[in-house]
Amino acid sequence: MIQDEGISTITSTPLQFFTMMPLSPKLGSPYLWLRELKSEERGLYLIHFLLTCANHVAVGRLDSANLALDQISHLASADGDTMQRIAAYFAEALADRVLKTWPGLYKAFNSTKIPMVSEEILVKKLFFEMFPFLKVAFVLTNQAIVEAMEGEKMIHIIDLNGNETAQWLALMQVLSARPEGPPHLRITGVHPQKEILDQMAPRLTEVAEKLDIPFQFNSVISQLEDLDIEKLRVKTGEALAINSVLQLHTLLGSDEVLQKPSSSAAKSANVVQYSRYSLSELLDKDLVHRCSPSPDSVSSSALSQSNATKINRFLDGLWSLTPKVMVVTEQDCNHNGSTLMERLLEALHTYAAIFDCLESNMSRTSVERLKLEKMLFGEEIKNIIACEGVERKERHEKHEKWCQRFHIAGFRHVSLSYYGMLQAHSLLQGYGCDGYRMKEENGCVMICWQDRPLFTVSAWRCCNRMNIETAFSL
């Protein structure tokens, strides 16, 4: 996946010799020749250093972790090739996790940071524009809503992440062309930042007036976990649709906290041996089980009670609104493991694919690419690796687990329509890059880079909770 021009495969690697070298903080002999490695060999070293560093961090051997981070710094680069860029952000995340073991130091380093709403808006806009993922999700979601709302005269859509007008502008165009005339449309946008909702309302209202659609926009300023269902103000006679785009995974957190590993927890790190494997082959190997577990490990049952309470309450609330359709877009990744090593390996897989998308479509010097990697993906990586407890929001899980949760909450799966999938497939084909793919699995659409699923779109409707066993069998 990551190659210098003219290089095909690695024919030999000195990693077995390097593992016997002393790790010195000085710019000694290892560093000078490490800088001259070819791209694929450098990628192998970076994977080795990242896993070694993470293992040291997990067992509390922080001096050794510091040396590994120093080594990574001489090979990683935020404007280099794919593996260099990934390594730079994973190293930053591991360093951030180490800092958190000294709360006073960590708070002092971050005390002057000011979150900028304008930056959040910018990076979300860049993600929408540079990748087809959300565009495909919007096409599929809108078609599911249109089909579920056929013949309805009053439609209410609850948008659980009200920050993107493009989806609803497209839906308005379709609704305005209905033979029986457009319905009365009400959209409730939920977002923690008032400024973002304030930007949505006038734009949607303006277009609705031009299309002669009776329209109302309601703002609900709230974090999703604090959302009062009553504030959504669902009225009798309205046909309700719920839209969730990359939101529900933030409700999977429990109350565990990151503890400073004790020195007694330190164990001898298992050295992961690398020989003649490519980057993708290395990432596909089951390396987690060769590394020492994090001391903050807990039981990793599929739906642990501590992690499920918050999301279950929230889904119960949505079910009580009896929506005609609920469409959910989520990352199809397993970043909610109970150990640092589990999450690091899974995240390496995912972000290697995402950064490869960027490498294939954008220049390495692109300012937009650098902003996306730093402000969006870098922050996600940091949250997955450095945070625990309620602070860890990026708890992405595989679609199978979401299916279990939705069934338990009283929802039944609805297959996305063939026409919607045709529209989405046409959009991907017109994107000018053959790496993007889409596949249907049991009525759910998976949006992939090459053969790796990255996002899923699925539709659901309420069913009788007395018949949950039947829902599981579907």
11 has a pLDDT exceeding 50: no
Among 207-221, 246-260, 429-443, the minimum mean pLDDT is found in 246-260
Answer yes or no: are the C-beta atoms of 314 and 224 closer than 8 Å.
yes
Mean pLDDT of 433-452: 91
Enumerate the β-bridge partners of residue 412: 461
pLDDT of residue 14: 38
Q: How far apart are CA 46 and CA 331, in angstroms?
A: 26
C-alpha 150: how far from chain center: 32
If you average pLDDT over every residue of the chain, what do you get? 82
Dihedral pair phi/psi, residue 367, rounded to 5°:
-65, -40
Question: How would you label 230-255 residue by residue, b for 16+ Cβ within 10 Å and e otherwise?
Answer: eebebeeebbbbbbbbbbbbbbbbbe
Q: Encode pLDDT of 154-178 as tens digits.
A: 999 999 988 889 999 999 999 999 9
In this predicted structure, what is the pLDDT of residue 423? 93
Q: Which residues contact 303 (CB under 8 A, 6 or more apart)?
A: 401, 404, 405
Long-range contacts of residues 197-205, Cβ cutoff 8 Å, at least 24 apart: 197/162, 197/221, 199/121, 200/162, 200/163, 200/165, 203/165, 203/169, 204/165, 204/168, 204/169, 204/172
pLDDT at residue 284 in the model: 54
Instruction: Name the band, by pLDDT with cuts 50, 70 and 90, for residue 466.
Output: low
- Residue 119's pLDDT band (cuts 50, 70, 90): confident
**How is the chain split into domains, by residue range?**
35-110
CA–CA dist 457, 244 (Å, integer): 10
Pair of tokens at residue 455: 């996002």
Output DSSP code: residue 390.
G
Q: What pLDDT score was predicted for residue 309?
A: 82
Confidence of residue 465 (pLDDT cuts 50, 70, 90): low
User: What average pLDDT score do residues 52-71 get?
Assistant: 94
Per-residue model confidence as pLDDT tens digits over 264-281: 333 433 433 433 344 455
Stated length of the chain: 474
Strongest mean pLDDT among 6-10, 14-18, 27-31, 65-69: 65-69
Among 6-10, 120-124, 271-275, 321-325, the range scoring the smallest mean pLDDT is 6-10
Cβ atoms of residues 335 and 346 within 8 Å: yes
31 has a pLDDT exceeding 70: no
Q: Lowest mean pLDDT of 115-119, 287-291, 361-365, name the range.
A: 287-291
Mean pLDDT of the 15-22 span: 40
State mean pLDDT over 417-444: 89
Inter-helix orientation angle 166-176/133-148, to 10°: 40
Comparing C-alpha atoms, which of 238, 230, 240, 159 is closest to residue 201? Answer: 159
Angle between helices 82-100 and 39-59 (to 10 degrees): 10
pLDDT in tens, 222-254: 999 999 999 999 999 999 999 999 999 999 985
Is residue 256 over pLDDT 60? no
pLDDT, residue 110, reads 82
pTM as predicted: 0.83
